């Protein structure tokens, strides 16, 4: 850790949004050649502080010192030119989806009026290749970004941030959509930047990552700085400083001796993509299955088939022993099969809607009385879910964009738990969600599962182990293994996740 004077200091920062006090007297210093981690519950004020530092919010209390001199950035561009590069939590805010990979990597140069790169396409492509090489990216530079996965978009946003040789690099939940291999590549790059004297602010709910890479940890709680921790870190101390004591996790699993009459969902020789092996799987009533594997293992594709977003190549699906083949998303919802997609910002959140409207959107017919909306009933249902899920907001009529990213995620999860379901699939439901919120979601699902079934899709093993009765691993489009919660062997799970040999031709679980 550097003993030199701070590179940047934020002193007594305060910020209010109407009656809501988002930040109150927060002071943090950033040192050259150091990784400072910032943790806190959803809505604690982390993203607000980041937006002040990077020039997005200009109306705030307190001051920012840059090399000892006070600065008040007028715009994000102003902060960027001073050496502050930020990759925000919501991935699609960091890329322009209608533009190519090359244009996204060179966005800063393209936005410079009269910039030379704008006129010299060959120079632009050459520099884009150099920027891609910073993160070992191997993309076709002409590919339109909206055609790429969430993880690929994340890597592009990070690579572009590095291209400007920043003095302070701010990363807000940078690994939320990355595989372990991609995260390792990012961590190696951060160590190199650290050795070059770059100051790095790393915001994440994944405490094992913080323990691996951070030099210091600052904890934000309810808009105030609660604590600063030095190495060695204790996870329990971090969690307690963030959210207080969390009840010890008790995982009550139903008996594993279930017969055919207890089957809720059955997949028979289901081929999701051409050339992939058939999938055979049973999920029983009252069972929560954790579906894990690397990005691209076929998890989301399977969920999309069950939700009517794509048609399978062949095979059969049965729900309650009856054939199920949804012709559309509306058909799936009609059959009480629900899906929370991974790409929240593109496929779930309606930015101009309130929390209530976002939450009840698929079920407006429930609140319709001969063409008249029963808004009070709708509001009451939304309030119940807000309380049950621990969503931090100014009530059900707050606009969704006024919530933190983690709380937006909880609203979308609550949307599909609002009404009775036969099968609910949550794809990466814990992205950007703090440990208490993860506990709240898992608790609510377990208490309300009844004789229905749920599939939790996540690449993070800790997340699926915490909530699932059974963990099923996919690799290369096939199911390669499964374990019951009470028999979990992490080493075996990791082996199944990462094995390079060809997937099993057929596995029944």
Within a domain: residue 259? no
166 in the same domain as 72:
yes
Rounded to an integer, the average pLDDT of 302-328 is: 94
> Which CATH number is 215's domain given?
3.40.50.300
C-alpha to C-alpha distance for 180 and 72, rounded to whole angstroms: 38
Q: Is residue 463 part of a domain?
A: yes
Q: What is the pLDDT of residue 311?
A: 93
Residue 273 pLDDT > 80, yes or no? yes
**In a shared domain, residues 431 and 393:** no
pLDDT at 462 over 60: yes
- Count of residues for the chain? 509
Provide the phi-psi class of 376: left if phi over 0, else alpha when psi is between -120 and 50, else beta: alpha
**Quick one: DSSP state of residue 95?**
S
What number is the average pLDDT over the span 102-118? 72
Say if residue 257's pLDDT is above 50.
Answer: no
Is position 344 within any domain?
no
**Higher pLDDT pick, 250 / 158:** 158
> 252 lies in a domain?
no
Tens-place pLDDT, residues 177-196? 777 777 888 888 889 889 88
Quick one: average pLDDT of 98-127? 77
Q: Residue 137's pLDDT is what?
A: 82
Same domain flag for 125 and 215 = yes
Q: Which tens digit of pLDDT belongs to each residue from 346-403?
A: 657 888 899 999 998 888 777 878 777 788 888 999 999 998 888 888 889 999 888 8
Tell me, yes or no, whether 381 lies in a domain: yes
Determine the Cα–Cα distance for residues 140 and 130; give it in Å rounded to an integer: 13
- Tell how far CA 302 is from the center of its chain: 19
Q: Which tokens belong to 178?
A: 């990355």
| Cβ atoms of 85 and 162 closer than 8 Å | yes
pLDDT-based confidence at residue 505 (cuts at 50, 70, 90): very low
Best CA proximity match to 73, nearest among 16, 17, 18, 8? 8
Tell me which of 418, 441, 467 is where a domain ends: 418
Let me know whether 37 and 169 are in one domain.
yes
In order of 66, 170, 266, 501, 504, the CA distances from 197 in angstroms are: 15, 14, 55, 41, 47
d(CA 106, CA 345): 23
> Percentage of residues in the chain with pLDDT exceeding 90?
34
* pLDDT band, very low/low/confident/very high, at 503 (cuts 50, 70, 90): very low
Peptide bond into 232 cis (omega under 30): yes
The tally of domains found in the chain comes to: 3
Q: In Å, what is the CA distance from 402 to each residue of 139, 172, 418?
A: 35, 17, 21
**For residue 282, what pLDDT is reported?**
95
Does residue 272 lie within any of the structural domains? Answer: yes
| Stronger pLDDT, 94 or 246, i.e. the higher one | 94
Q: How far apart (Å, rounded) are the C-alpha atoms in residues 306 and 221?
A: 40
- Which pair of structure tokens corresponds to residue 374? 């029963």
Q: How far apart are the first and last CA of the chain?
A: 50
Q: At what angle do helices 180-195 and 150-163 cross, to 10 degrees?
A: 10
CB 117 within 8 A of CB 188: no
Which one-letter DSSP state was computed for residue 354? B
Q: Is a pLDDT exceeding 90 seen at residue 474?
A: yes
- In our burial notation (b when 16+ CB lie closer than 10 A, e otherwise), range 357-390 reads bbbbeebeeebeeeeeeeeeebbebbeebbebbb
Q: Are strands 470-475 and 478-484 parallel, antiparallel or unpaired?
A: antiparallel
Same domain for 376 and 496:
no
Q: What is the pLDDT of residues 191-239, one digit of tens each?
A: 988 988 999 999 988 888 888 899 999 999 888 998 899 988 887 788 7
Query: Looking at the predicted structure, is the pLDDT value of residue 506 above 60?
Result: no
Q: What is the pLDDT at residue 501?
A: 44
Last residue of a domain, one of 392, 418, 444: 418
27-46 per-position pLDDT tens digit: 999 999 999 999 988 778 89
Q: Are residues 456 and 411 in the same domain?
A: no
Task: Say whether both 79 and 207 belong to one domain.
Answer: yes
In a domain, 29, yes or no: yes
**pLDDT for 163:** 79
- Mean residue pLDDT of the chain comes to 84
Q: Are both 461 and 429 inside the same structural domain?
A: yes
DSSP 449: -
Distances (CA, A) of 398 to 146, 293, 340, 383, 488: 30, 36, 21, 11, 41
pLDDT tier at 63 (50, 70, 90 boundaries)? Answer: very high
Whether residue 114 has pLDDT greater than 80: no
The confidence score (pLDDT) of residue 437 equals 77
Which token pair is 45? Answer: 């004020």
Among 162-176, 234-248, 304-318, 365-379, the range scoring the smallest mean pLDDT is 234-248
pLDDT of res. 245 = 63
Q: Supply the pLDDT for residue 113.
A: 63
For position 109, what pLDDT does the model report?
76
Range 116-128 average pLDDT? 74
Which pLDDT value is given to residue 119? 59
Q: Which of 457, 188, 470 is nearest to 298 (CA)?
A: 457
H or E segment at 11? strand 8-17
Is 120 a residue whose pLDDT tops 80?
no
Please give the C-alpha separations between residue 233 and each of 73, 224, 243, 343, in angstroms, as whole numbers: 34, 20, 16, 32
Same domain, 381 and 502: no
85 lies in the same domain as 185 = yes
List pLDDT tens digits, range 141-159.
999 988 887 778 888 888 8
Flag the least confident range among 56-65, 383-392, 407-416, 498-507: 498-507
Find out whether 100 and 94 touch, Cβ atoms under 8 Å.
no
Q: Which domain holds residue 403?
A: 351-418
Residue 258 has pLDDT above 60, yes or no: no
Question: What CA–CA distance (Å, rounded) separates 124 from 118?
Answer: 7
Same domain for 138 and 178, yes or no, is yes
Residue at a domain's end among 382, 399, 418: 418
Judgement on whether residues 408 and 427 belong to the same structural domain of the protein: no
pTM equals: 0.66
In a domain, 3, yes or no: no
**Distances in Å between the alpha carbon of 19 and those of 15, 22, 51, 135, 347?**
11, 9, 19, 42, 31
Q: What is the mean pLDDT of residues 464-489?
A: 91
């Amino acid at each position: 850790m550097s003993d030199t004077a701070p590179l940047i200091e934020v002193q007594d920062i305060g910020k209010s949004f109407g009656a809501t006090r988002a930040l109150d007297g927060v002071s943090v210093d950033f040192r050259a050649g150091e990784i400072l981690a910032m943790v806190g519950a959803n809505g604690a004020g982390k993203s607000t502080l980041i937006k002040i530092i990077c020039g997005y919010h200009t109306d705030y209390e307190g001051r920012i010192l840059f090399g000892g001199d006070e600065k008040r950035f007028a715009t994000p561009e102003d902060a960027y030119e001073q050496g502050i590069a930020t990759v925000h939590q919501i991935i699609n805010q960091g890329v322009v989806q209608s533009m190519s990979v090359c244009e996204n990597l060179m966005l800063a140069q393209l936005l410079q009026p009269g910039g030379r790169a704008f006129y010299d396409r060959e120079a632009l492509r050459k520099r884009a290749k150099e920027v891609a090489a910073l993160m070992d990216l191997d993309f076709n530079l002409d590919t339109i970004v909206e055609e790429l996965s969430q993880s690929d978009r994340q890597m592009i946003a990070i690579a572009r941030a590095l291209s400007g040789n920043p003095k302070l690099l701010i990363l807000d939940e940078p690994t939320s959509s990355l595989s372990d291999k991609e995260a390792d590549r990012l961590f190696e790059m951060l160590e190199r930047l650290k050795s070059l004297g770059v100051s790095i602010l790393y915001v994440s709910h994944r405490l094992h990552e913080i323990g691996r890479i951070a030099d210091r940890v600052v904890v934000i709680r309810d808009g105030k700085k609660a604590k600063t921790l030095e190495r060695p870190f204790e996870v329990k101390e971090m969690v307690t400083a963030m959210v207080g004591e969390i009840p010890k996790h008790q995982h009550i699993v139903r008996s594993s001796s279930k017969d055919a009459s207890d089957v809720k969902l059955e997949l028979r020789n289901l081929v999701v993509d051409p050339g992939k092996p058939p999938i055979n799987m049973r999920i029983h009533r009252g069972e929560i299955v954790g579906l894990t594997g690397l990005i691209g293992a076929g998890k989301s594709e399977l969920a999309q088939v069950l939700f009517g977003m794509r048609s399978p190549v062949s095979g059969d699906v049965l729900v309650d022993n009856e054939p199920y083949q949804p012709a559309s998303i509306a058909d799936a919802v009609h059959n009480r099969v629900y899906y929370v997609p991974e790409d929240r910002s593109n496929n779930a959140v309606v930015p101009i809607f309130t929390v209530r409207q976002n939450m009840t959107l698929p079920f407006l017919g429930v609140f319709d009385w001969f063409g008249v909306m029963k808004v009070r009933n709708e509001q009451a249902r939304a309030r119940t879910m807000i309380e049950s899920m621990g969503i931090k907001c100014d009530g059900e009529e707050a606009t969704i964009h006024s919530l933190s990213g983690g709380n937006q995620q909880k609203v979308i999860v609550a949307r599909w738990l609002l009404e009775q379901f036969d099968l609910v699939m949550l794809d990466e439901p814990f992205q950007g969600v703090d440990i208490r919120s993860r506990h709240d979601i898992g608790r609510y699902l377990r208490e309300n599962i009844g004789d229905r079934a749920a599939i939790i899709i996540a690449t993070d093993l800790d997340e699926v182990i915490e909530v699932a009765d059974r963990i099923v691993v996919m690799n290369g489009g096939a199911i390669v293994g499964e374990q019951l919660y009470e028999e979990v062997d992490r080493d075996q799970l990791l082996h199944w996740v990462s094995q390079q040999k060809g997937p099993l031709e057929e596995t029944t679980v």
